[in-house]
Structure 1
Amino acid sequence: MIKLTKLAVLCSLIALPTQALARDVNDLGVDVQAATSAYIVKNTNPRYPGSYNGSRLEGWALMSYVVDTQGKAKDIEVIMASDTRGSEENAEKYLTNLEFAPATKEGKTVEGGYLFSFEVGKYFNGYSNDKASRGFINEYDEINKLLQAKEFKKAELALAELYKDHTKNTSEQALFAWLKSQYYYHQQQWFGFDEQLSVAYLLRAKLPTDIQYLVAKSALQWYSFKGDFNLAYNAIYALDNIEGKEFSEENKLATIKQIDDLLARTPQINSQINVSKDKLSYLSLSRGSIKIEGASDVSKLQIRCADQVVDLEASELVNYVIDEQSRRCGLLVKSANPAEIKVKQTGYAIVNSKFDAS
């Protein structure tokens, strides 16, 4: 099965010139003129990946990392990843081979927290590995019919077989995640829907145009409902950047206004983080005043923004106010034991359509 933690923060990612499709959050939406975010100055990774022994299986990972004041990546954490062997290790290795100009704030060099999406694409003599196989498509269509007929038990078994037998490259993994999100949606199993939609959204560039549109539209609706305005704004710009699909400027501006209005009408955002043992949970933040309950036993409690990294002391009740100028902030939680943590966000908004464009 795909390994996942709590809902990931997905962001505007820039493809680097390599067949290992590593994407850095060089433009996290922070005002470039403010010169607050780190950016890559040197990439010492090899241009081409190694041998894959003829396998079609591809891997991917989404990581959170810190760029220190020396321009090095450190404190690398896995948010979510495929279960392809080596995905996490390859992503971490790629990150450590990058050199950055560190973030600055008020004229001083500071640490900053960012996200990094990594994919390994495999290429063979005579053809690329970027399409779903015929066997995958046939089973995908059959499962779709089962879902429409509400035959969920049969669909569950067929999904397991589809993943085991035919889900290999990232195109197939993206399609599988979308299909499984629909399986959960039809049964109103929202945690599973949330997880699988996150994967489909992360890998959306691998999807056919019409499905890519459905994924971005579903993401917009879901993240708006959840009060994750960071991702909601991001989804608007995802809709605006689908090749072959028209999303007019009028519709874009109207949708942005809807999210602006919803954010203004949501002065308090309540979230619950279900922390698994020794697994990272990451919650994107939309407002600057943070109240955390139930974190007395966690091993890591940290706020990462593009221009600051703050270690919070674990306790039953934690309060912290983020700098109003900070952008792209997330809360990291890790615990040696399972935990349920409540987070309340109030105060000024630290997201908007300007800073959270894709």
Structure 2
Amino acid sequence: MLSASSFGNSKEVKAAKIIKNANKVEDAFTSRGGMEGWTRVSYIIDKDGTTKDIVVFDYSGKDRYVTKATKLVKNLQYSPALINDKPVTSAQILFVKHTYSEAGHSEGSVTPAFAKEYQAIIDALTSPSANMPSIKISIDELVEDHTKNLNEHALAAWLKSIYYYKNEDFLEYMRQSQITVDLYEYLPIAILAKSTVNLFQSQLYYGNFKGASETLARMGSVDGLNLSQQTHQQFADALKASKATESSNVTKGQLSSLGAWSQAYEFSTFKVDVSQGSVDSVELRCNDYQQKYVEGWENQIDFPAQTSDCILLIRGDAGSTFDILEITS
């Protein structure tokens, strides 16, 4: 999540970069014929380039991937972030894809059993008389019984995004759209195109402008999307217009099933307003500055002067929803 940027008027920031990966290629999993999954991890990169304070805040549902992701990040060595060539601590968010061999690519394909159940759920979702509780059960069974590789995880996330949209659970719809897009190389191009637009629009709606900017950049870089310059400009204009609205100082979020949420963040002064559930802590993870708040976040948190490339980590009860409100006066 870090990028080279200006730090104040005279300070130059250089992002941390991986210089060594000590993770070894592992043998294929044997449980249930081999399984793949994904995790989303937030962590600190110290001044010496080692990683610490590793938090897996979202995952594909198998606890072993929490352990594997933590181990993977511990085995990464970085050249630290620099400010005027001086090493500083920094923060990172990483989407980890766990493949059969951990070699970085999936050897899986959609099985006939998955394809059959997937199509049945698609048909049910597009039916005028869709029975949403029954469809939810079918999706859960599909994930538990037949989703074993990243191709299937990508399609299952796509199914879930449709379900949650129709069920008007739009925060979960945005999450599933994000998972779908993050697994872009395992998707048919038509589904990827729809998912990317869905994600972009939901990010605008919920005030995640940093994420929307990243999604827009991805639209222009993924082979096969063939986004025209005119279309790209239309999306860029939509992002600019959303930032200019009165509601642009509100970002909405929801804690994952692991009870956490993390995202790159730009507001300088803000508070967290919990709309449902409970939040236990709010943590700032910035270049050369980290601070965890277990109280006071509902009133006001101030970014210190001259921080950059900040990430928020919020923890509490799974499923809790909240608003991050920028304080402008």
TM-score, scaled relative to structure 2: 0.84
Matches of 2:325 and 2:68, distance apart in 1:
35
Q: Hey, what does 1:146 align to over in structure 2?
A: 124
String of CA shifts for 1:13-43, please: whole Å, max 9, x gaps.
xxxxxxxxxxxx5xx3334993432111222
String of CA shifts for 1:172-193, please: whole Å, max 9, x gaps.
0110011111011112122332
Cα–Cα, structure 1 residues 140 and 256, in superposed 2: closer, same or farther, change >3 Å? same
Q: CA deviation at 1:293?
A: 4.7
The amino acid of 1:30's aligned partner reads A
Of 208, 217, 226, which aligns to 1:246? 226
The amino acid of 1:265's aligned partner reads T
Q: Hey, what does 1:6 align to over in structure 2?
A: none
- Is the 1:57–1:168 contact (alpha carbons within 8 Å) kept by the matching residues of 2? yes
Matched length? 315
Of 37, 52, 77, which aligns to 2:29? 52
Q: Hey, what does 2:158 align to over in structure 1?
A: 178
The amino acid of 1:305's aligned partner reads C
- Please give the secondary structure, in 2, of the residue aligned with 1:287: coil
String of CA shifts for 1:39-72, please: whole Å, max 9, x gaps.
11222221x2223227231121110000011211
Residue ranges of structure 1 left out of the alignment (5+ in a row)? 1-24, 349-358
- Is the 2:288–2:307 contact (alpha carbons within 8 Å) kept by the matching residues of 1? no
Mean CA deviation greater in 308-317 or 214-223 = 308-317
Of 97, 112, 126, which aligns to 1:119? 97
Mean CA deviation greater in 312-321 or 57-66 = 312-321
Mean CA deviation greater in 241-250 or 137-146 = 241-250
Pairwise mapping of residues 1-358 of structure 1 onto structure 2 (< 5 A)? 25=1, 28-31=2-5, 34-46=12-24, 48-53=25-30, 55-122=33-100, 129-150=107-128, 151-153=130-132, 154-266=134-246, 268-271=248-251, 273=253, 279-293=259-273, 299-306=280-287, 308-312=289-293, 314-315=295-296, 316-321=298-303, 323=305, 326-327=308-309, 329-335=310-316, 341-346=322-327
- Is the 1:65–1:77 contact (alpha carbons within 8 Å) kept by the matching residues of 2? yes
String of CA shifts for 1:315-337, please: whole Å, max 9, x gaps.
2422213546623x332122479
Q: CA deviation at 1:234?
A: 1.2
Mean CA deviation greater in 144-153 or 274-283 = 274-283
Matches of 1:183 and 1:233, distance apart in 2:
26
Cα–Cα, structure 1 residues 93 and 122, in superposed 2: closer, same or farther, change >3 Å? same
Q: CA deviation at 1:277?
A: 9.4
Cα–Cα, structure 1 residues 65 and 342, in superposed 2: closer, same or farther, change >3 Å? same
Residue ranges of structure 2 left out of the alignment (5+ in a row)? none
- Please give the secondary structure, in 2, of the residue aligned with 1:310: strand
- Is the 2:28–2:34 contact (alpha carbons within 8 Å) kept by the matching residues of 1? no
- CA RMSD in angstroms comes to 3.0
Matches of 1:53 and 1:254, distance apart in 2:
48
- Is the 1:60–1:120 contact (alpha carbons within 8 Å) kept by the matching residues of 2? yes
Cα–Cα, structure 1 residues 306 and 267, in superposed 2: closer, same or farther, change >3 Å? farther
Percent identity of the aligned residues? 23
